[in-house]
Amino acid sequence: MLVETAGLTKVFGDVRAVDDLTIQIPDGAIGLVGPNGAGKTTFLRLLLSLLQPTAGTAKVLGRDIGDGVPVRERIGYMPEHDCLIPDMTGVGLVSYMGRISGLDRDTAMSRSHDVLQFVGVEEERYRKIAEYSTGMKQKIKLAQSMVHDPQLYIFDEPTTGLDPRGRTEMLDLVRTIAKSPGRNVLLSSHLLPDVETICKYVVILDGGHQIAAGELSQLLTGSTDRLRIDVRGDQAAFARLLKEAGFDADAGPSGLHVSRKPGLEAAVFETAKSLGAEVRYMGKEIRSLEELFLELVARTDKRGA
Amino acid sequence: MSITLPTYSRLELPLLARRQRVWAIIATGLRKELRRPAAIVVTGIGVAFTTITSLVLLFLSQIIPTGQAADLTFFAGPASNFFVLFFVSLMAAVIGAGLIADDMQSMAFTLYLSRPITQVDYLLAKAAILAPLIAMVTILPLLLTALVAALLGFFSWTIALEAMGISIVVGGLLTLFYTAVTLFLSSLSRRKGIAAAGVFAVNFGLTIPATVLALAIRNDSILYMSPWNDYVAVASGAFGGPSIGIDWPVALAILLGVTVLAALVTYVRMKAVEVVTG
């Protein structure tokens, strides 16, 4: 297991940023998604021992997070916010971070050049970080997380502040790392397409709670007992008529979801005819991560209300 | 773009021990300070000025005939050289104030703590950057003074070596005090200007009022409030010089107590600092 937690909780004053979180995250490329304030960054910082848990335990790569140093030896962390030392050069900072991670001077320098070339900071590596653009700073942050070649990469919102081109480049880099053997990626983002293109397993957090976790393909496929129907027309009225006809139908952000039952297909077309609506899709409950996410969050909100 | 041709390959090397990681912070920090014009100027002028004035003080005491044999007590004057206070304040402000504050300001603190080191490692490394630079003003001039005095034949080598030994101890005490206090002040705020102002406040804000007040009300015990007067009392006691009106053991206890307290509070604060922002 990449990460295992049991009752992990972090409280800041009255806010329960991570609330009784018990999850098991397998190896591989993992997406951690949730709206702003869901507890993603707090969760990641707990794993790094940058924050001390209020309650509960967690293991990263089989080691208790309380061990601190041995855990961090195996992690490369790319924080979301600006954290670079402005008066150092790109290569100077990356090699410095390599040395603090335990590499000897020569290896740290050689690795710095390698990873800077990998991330695409080449000629600029001898310039001071204060002179870098946001995109280059993001790449330096990525490079410093890679320099000691950790087993686990933790990327916290790696595309923050990047233009579309920079975002594509950054996602390509993260994807390359995620595909490399022996390396695991924990990618935290509220940009769901970023996660969808890179990760095979997702953990969805909201309000410090896990609201779903699993293989992305399974989560997006949903239940085989239900159909998804996309309707052009009055979706709410469509759902109401189906309900009146004895079918279990829900109208959500990702369309209508109806339980399979004999006579469903006929009832759907009857309803469409009576409402003058157009059935555009009727089939498996395949959703985008965004649709799934909105559904789950809406469900959580309903429960909360 | 090189991302289409990644050269990134898996590295399988054992990592070096923690002390070498700490050493990397120290070496990089010292190199960085010794490249900064402000740090170079303050250190250079500080060493030169305190050494020259210490030598002048020593030679003046030798030239003026008192009938006293050349012994250790002559070194109490150079050890109490007021320029030490001035330059130690300047160095602590110019070099030490930003050591932790800058990392908090740039959020590089997160980067350090996400690496396989502890908060104690980080603090020790920062102290090890500052202490040798402060020692350039607190210890080195006294050593040079004793050395030059011996070379010129003003004192026997036995006395000069003894003076050097005592200089290392009392200078070391002052170095530890200012290192601990400066790092404590630097850890309090993200703005190094505040820490720098704090250093001056601790030095001159306590020393000048304490001295004036002690003279005005004729009560020397007020001098205990001033770290500089505490140090002078200890230095004077160590070299067998004249008393400045306060007991050196009490002054020593105050200096050590404040040093330990400042170090402890900084440690506790660093342990408690949780990287929340962002």
Q: Which of B59-63, B73-77, B163-167 has the lowest mean pLDDT?
A: B59-63
What tokens appear for B242 in the block? 């004249």
Minimal CA separation from B23 to chain A, in Å: 9
Answer whether residue A103 is part of any domain: yes
User: Is the CB of residue B28 less than 8 Å away from at least one CB of chain A?
Assistant: yes
Residues A213 and A233 in one domain: no
CB contact under 8 A, A81 and B278: yes
Residues A135 and A26 in one domain: yes
Over range B247-262, report the average pLDDT. 94
Residue A254 near residue A281, CB atoms below 8 Å: no
- Chain B residue at shortest CA distance from A72: B116
Answer whether residue A290 is part of any domain: no
CATH of the domain at A172: 3.40.50.300
pLDDT tens for B156-183 read 899 999 999 999 999 999 999 999 999 9
CB contact under 8 A, A83 and B111: yes
User: Is the CB of residue A191 less than 8 Å away from at least one CB of chain B?
Assistant: no
Answer whether residue A293 is part of any domain: no
* B217: number of Cβ within 10 Å: 9
CB contact under 8 A, B11 and A149: yes
- Chain B residue at shortest CA distance from A68: B116
Residues A158 and A107 in one domain: yes
Residues A69 and A200 in one domain: yes
Answer whether residue A300 is part of any domain: no
CATH of the domain at A237: 3.30.70
Q: How far is Cα B81 from Cα B41, in angstroms, rounded to an integer? A: 20
> Strand A29-33's sheet: what is its strand order?
A75-78, A152-156, A184-189, A29-33, A201-206, A209-215
pLDDT band at B274; cut points 50, 70, 90 = low
pLDDT at position A50: 85
pLDDT at position B205: 83
Can you list the residues of chain A whose pLDDT is less than 50? none
pLDDT tens for A83-98 read 899 999 999 999 999 9
Residues A137 and A32 in one domain: yes
pLDDT at position B153: 85
Residues A211 and A235 in one domain: no
State percent of chain B over pLDDT 90: 48
Answer whether residue A291 is part of any domain: no
Structural domain including A186 reads: 3-219
ipTM of the complex: 0.84
Q: Match 């490329």 to its residue by tokens.
A: A29
Answer whether residue A298 is part of any domain: no
What tokens appear for B166 in the block? 């005592």
Answer whether residue A301 is part of any domain: no
Residues of A whose CB is below 8 A from B275: 45, 50-51
Answer whether residue A302 is part of any domain: no
Residues A150 and A175 in one domain: yes
CB contact under 8 A, A79 and B111: yes
First to last CA, chain A: 35
pLDDT at position A222: 66
pLDDT at position B4: 43
CB contact under 8 A, A52 and B117: no
pLDDT at position B3: 45
Instruction: For the full predicted model, state whether its pTM sits above 0.90.
Output: no
pLDDT band at B1; cut points 50, 70, 90 = very low
pLDDT at position B275: 61
Residues A194 and A46 in one domain: yes
* A262: number of Cβ within 10 Å: 7
Is residue B102 pLDDT above 80, yes or no?
yes
Residues of A whose CB is below 8 A from B274: 45, 50-52
Residues A270 and A169 in one domain: no
The total number of structural domains in chain A stands at 2
Task: Return the higher-pLDDT residue of B79 and B10.
Answer: B79
CB contact under 8 A, A97 and B115: yes
Q: Where are the domains of chain B?
A: 18-272
> Strand A255-259's sheet: what is its strand order?
A249-252, A255-259, A226-232, A278-283
CB contact under 8 A, B274 and A51: yes
